[in-house]
Amino acid sequence: MTEKVVLAYSGGLDTSVCIGWIAEQTGAEVIAVAVDVGQGGEDLEAIRRRALACGAVEAEVADARDEFATDYCVPALKANALYQDRYPLVSALSRPVIVKHLAAAAKKHGASTVAHGCTGKGNDQVRFEAGIASLAPDLKCIAPVRDYGMTRDEAIAFAEVNGLPVGTTKANPYSIDQNLWGKAVETGFLEDIWNGPVEDLYSYTQDPAAPREPDEVVITFTSGVPTALDGRPVTPLEAVLEMNRRAGEQGVGRIDLVEDRLVGIKSREVYEAPGAIALITAHQELENVTMERDLARFKKGVDRRWGELVYDGLWFSPLKRALDGFVDDANEHVSGDVRMTLHGGRAVVTGRRSGESLYDFNLATYDTGDVFDQTLAKGFIELFGLPSKIAAKRDLATPRQL
Q: How far, in Å, are 87, 204, 216, 251, 274 from residue 243 at the CA level?
A: 17, 11, 11, 12, 7
The answer to whether position 153 is within a domain reads yes
Q: What rounded mean pLDDT belongs to the chain?
A: 93
Q: Name the pLDDT band for 171 (thresholds 50, 70, 90).
A: low
Containing structural domain, residue 247: 178-353
Q: Give percent of the chain above pLDDT 70.
A: 98
Q: Name the pLDDT band for 12 (thresholds 50, 70, 90).
A: confident
* pLDDT, tens digit, 9 for 90 and up, residues 348-359: 999 999 999 999
In 10 A of CB 389, how many CB atoms? Answer: 9
Binding positions for L-citrulline: 87, 123, 127, 175, 259, 271
- Please choose, from the candidates 148, 175, 147, 158, the residue with its C-alpha nearest in 3D space to the C-alpha of residue 54: 158
Q: How far, in Å, are 25, 112, 121, 213, 230 from residue 143 at the CA level?
A: 12, 14, 12, 48, 46
Report, as residue numbers or ranges, the catalytic residues. 14, 95, 124, 175
- Please choose, from the candidates 10, 177, 13, 175, the residue with its C-alpha nearest in 3D space to the C-alpha of residue 91: 177
Helix (H) or strand (E) holding 369: none
Same domain, 18 and 154: yes
173 DSSP assignment? -
- Please choose, from the candidates 309, 326, 343, the residue with its C-alpha nearest in 3D space to the C-alpha of residue 224: 326
Same domain, 116 and 223: no
* pLDDT, tens digit, 9 for 90 and up, residues 250-267: 999 999 999 999 989 999
Whole-angstrom Cα Rg for the chain:
25
The answer to whether the beta carbons of residues 61 and 34 sit under 8 Å apart is yes
Please give the pLDDT value at position 145. Answer: 81
- Please choose, from the candidates 143, 73, 84, 147, the residue with its C-alpha nearest in 3D space to the C-alpha of residue 312: 84
CA angle 188, 189, 193 (to 5 degrees): 120
**Which of 112-121, 145-154, 172-181, 287-296 has the least mean pLDDT?**
145-154
Binding positions for ATP: 8-16, 117
Same domain, 94 and 236: no
pLDDT at 120 over 90: no
Same domain, 199 and 135: no
Please give the pLDDT value at position 226. Answer: 98
Residue 82's CATH number: 3.40.50.620
Chain centroid, CA 358 distance in Å: 30
Same domain, 148 and 189: no
The pLDDT of 118-124, averaged and rounded, is 88
For the four alpha carbons of 289, 291, 294 and 300, in that order, the dihedral sign comes to negative
Q: Which residues neighbour 157 within 8 Å (Cβ) at sequence distance 6 or greater? A: none
The answer to whether the beta carbons of residues 148 and 25 sit under 8 Å apart is yes
Please give the pLDDT value at position 239. Answer: 98
Same domain, 213 and 295: yes
Helix (H) or strand (E) holding 204: none
- Please choose, from the candidates 160, 196, 156, 190, the residue with its C-alpha nearest in 3D space to the C-alpha of residue 174: 190
Please give the pLDDT value at position 67. Answer: 98
Binding positions: 8-16, 87, 117, 119, 123-124, 127, 175, 259, 271
pLDDT at 166 over 60: yes
* pLDDT, tens digit, 9 for 90 and up, residues 215-246: 999 999 999 999 999 999 999 999 999 999 99
Q: Name the pLDDT band for 172 (thresholds 50, 70, 90).
A: low
The domain tally of the chain equals 2
CA angle 121, 79, 260 (to 5 degrees): 25
Please give the pLDDT value at position 43. Answer: 84
Residue 211's CATH number: 3.90.1260.10
Same domain, 129 and 58: yes
Q: What is the number of alpha carbons within 13 Å of residue 8 lying toward its C-beta? A: 29
- Please choose, from the candidates 173, 8, 17, the residue with its C-alpha nearest in 3D space to the C-alpha of residue 104: 8
The answer to whether position 395 is within a domain reads no
In 10 A of CB 399, how many CB atoms? Answer: 7
Scanning 110-250, the segments in alpha helix (DSSP H) are 124-135, 144-147, 152-161, 236-249
